[in-house]
Amino acid sequence: MTLKQGPPRPPGVLVIDDHPIVRAGIRNHLEAHSHFRVVAEAGTVNQARTLLRKPLLKTLGYLVVDVQLGDGTGLDIIRDAQLLDPPLEVVVVTAFPSVQILRHAVGGGARAVVLKEAGSSALVLALSCVEKGQVFLDPHLGNIIIDALLAPPVSQRDVYNEHLLALLADGLTDKEIARRVGKTASGVTHDIAALLKRMGVSSRAAAVNEAIRRGILGSLTWVDG
C-alpha cells in the first residue's frame, strides 16, 4: 500500500536493540547494501529517549526498533517517535510475532514490521518501501495479519489498560509507570484503581493473575515480545 509522501527524509537511522551484535550487524548491512546510514544506536528505552532529545535528531529520518528491550518495550519508543516534529518513520523488528505486536506496532504508528529471522536484506527492503511512502509487513506474518484483521476492534482504552497490566506484571511503581505512559503518578494510580474495579479484583497482583488467566498477558508484547 502506498501512502502520501512528505518531503524527502534524511537517510539517518537510529537502531534500538538490546544486543550489540545485532546492532552491529544491522549497521554493517545497511551501510554496505543501501544508502541508509546508522547515525545512532541504543540498547534500552531510556537510552533511546535520551538520544531522541539530542541535536542528532536533525540527521534522523528512520527508527529501527526491536520490540523487547531490557527496560521496557520498543512500542513505547514508537509513540515517542510520533510526537517529534517531523515524526520518524518506524520499522519494528521482532523475533516473537503475534497479533498483539502487529496491532500495537501499526496502531502506534509503525510503517513496517519485519521478523528478525528474515535477516538484514528484509530490513533494507522494508526501509526502502517506507521511504517510498509504502507500508511493509513481512510476508511471513501472513496468518498473523489475517488474524489481526479478523479480530474484534480494540479501543484505545483497552490498549492502555493492557499496557498498564503488563507494566504492573513487570513490578513497576506508579511513578515508573507514569514516566512510561506520559502521565502523572496520581493519574496512573487513579487509572489502576479504575482498572481493578473494571476487572472485579481487589489488588494489583490479582489483576495480573486474572490477566494471565484470561490469556491477555501471555501474548502481550510487553511480556514476551
The arithmetic mean of pLDDT across residues 39-53, rounded, is 90
End-to-end CA distance of the chain: 26
Distances in Å between the Cα of 222 and the Cα atoms of 22, 69, 126, 156 are 20, 9, 23, 16
What is the band of 180 on the pLDDT scale with cuts at 50, 70, 90?
confident
What domains, with CATH codes, occur in the chain? 12-150 (3.40.50.2300), 156-224 (1.10.10.10)
The pLDDT value given to residue 224: 31
CB 67 within 8 A of CB 92: yes
pTM: 0.68
CA–CA distance, 209 with 187 (Å, rounded to integer): 23
The arithmetic mean of pLDDT across residues 159-169, rounded, is 83
CA–CA distance, 35 with 124 (Å, rounded to integer): 10
The pLDDT value given to residue 223: 32
CA–CA distance, 46 with 21 (Å, rounded to integer): 19
